[in-house]
Chains A and B, each alone.
Chain A
Amino acid sequence: AQTVTQSQPEMSVQEAETVTLSCTYDTSENNYYLFWYKQPPSRQMILVIRQEAYKQQNATENRFSVNFQKAAKSFSLKISDSQLGDTAMYFCAFMSPRNYGGSQGNLIFGKGTKLSVKP
């Protein structure tokens, strides 16, 4: 079965500094998608960044970038120049594009990392 592990339940960072959130996953698939979602306190979950496993280049979205290590099954999120608005729960998620065990397109989430950005 596919699993996603986020080993850091909570993290904090000073405003304007850089922080890296860890995520590892387990799969026997060769092609799949990985996502980072952000859920601010009492607000909507939004997609931060997406990575296709067949792409070697790490995805970036403004201050957010990933370090995708396919062999190690690692997918960490780096937030540069942290802002107070980055305070949120961050969820790593995995999706297999195939109809895997009847679960096509299912997002499998980690337990999340609570990030606090301090002024």
Chain B
Amino acid sequence: ETGVTQTPRHLVMGMTNKKSLKCEQHLGHNAMYWYKQSAKKPLELMFVYSLEERVENNSVPSRFSPECPNSSHLFLHLHTLQPEDSALYLCASSQVVRDEQYFGPGTRLTVT
């Protein structure tokens, strides 16, 4: 595997479910990011991790819970989501926080 990978690629979940999105980067980077991409809206930055510490949390509802166990892996734990949370969730990484970012293919999430 090369670059940034995300699993699953597609996820359908009910409002009462608990699921997790996984991101893995194979680039030796030290910073990782979660973005939300909704139709007709700019990409929204959700969380930033640098050296496994969260350095940014853009007022994201608590039903989204990130976890960064090491510099190569990033998770987004989901619980009691709302239909408006349906979107493409993109993971990205960069060498350091102030560097260009490389994106994963995204997870298409549908909340029913």
Residues of chain A having any CB pair with chain B under 8 Å: 4, 33, 35, 37, 43-47, 50, 91, 95, 97, 102-112
Produce 1/0 per residue, B83-102, CB < 8 A to A. Answer: 00000001000101111111
The 9 A-B pairs with the shortest beta carbon distances in the complex, nearest first, are A105-B97, A45-B103, A105-B98, A109-B43, A109-B42, A44-B105, A97-B98, A111-B42, A106-B45
Residue B27 is within 8 A (CB to CB) of chain A in the complex? no
Q: Contact check, B98 vs A44: say whether CB atoms are below 8 A apart.
A: no
Measured CA separation A44–B103 after assembly (Å)? 7
Q: Contact check, A45 vs B90: say whether CB atoms are below 8 A apart.
A: yes
List 12 A-B pairs, Cβ < 8 Å.
A44-B105, A47-B100, A91-B43, A97-B98, A102-B56, A103-B56, A105-B31, A105-B94, A105-B96, A105-B98, A106-B45, A107-B43
Instruction: Tell me the residues in window 70-91 of chain B with beta carbons closer than 8 Å to chain A beta carbons.
Output: 90
Taking the closest CB of chain B, its distance from the CB of A1, in whole angstroms, is 13
Seed contacts A50-B100, A104-B97, A111-B40; 19 additional CB < 8 Å A-B pairs: A33-B100, A44-B105, A44-B106, A45-B90, A45-B103, A46-B103, A47-B100, A47-B102, A103-B56, A104-B55, A104-B98, A105-B31, A105-B96, A105-B98, A106-B56, A107-B45, A108-B42, A109-B43, A111-B41
Residues of chain B within 8 A (CB-CB) of A111 are: 40-42
Smallest Cβ-Cβ distance to A93: which chain B residue: B43
Count of B residues near A, CB < 8 Å?
A: 23
Identify whether the interface residues of B are mostly helix, strand, loop, or mixed.
loop
Taking the closest CB of chain A, its distance from the CB of B50, in whole angstroms, is 8
Residue B23 is within 8 A (CB to CB) of chain A in the complex? no
Q: Contact check, B101 vs A107: say whether CB atoms are below 8 A apart.
A: yes
Q: Contact check, B101 vs A4: say whether CB atoms are below 8 A apart.
A: no
Q: Contact check, A105 vs B42: say whether CB atoms are below 8 A apart.
A: no
Instruction: Tell me the residues in window 40-54 of chain B with beta carbons closer than 8 Å to chain A beta carbons.
Output: 40-43, 45, 48
Residues of chain B within 8 A (CB-CB) of A109 are: 42-43
Q: Contact check, A35 vs B103: say whether CB atoms are below 8 A apart.
A: no
Measured CA separation A102–B42 after assembly (Å)? 20
Residues of chain B within 8 A (CB-CB) of A50 are: 100
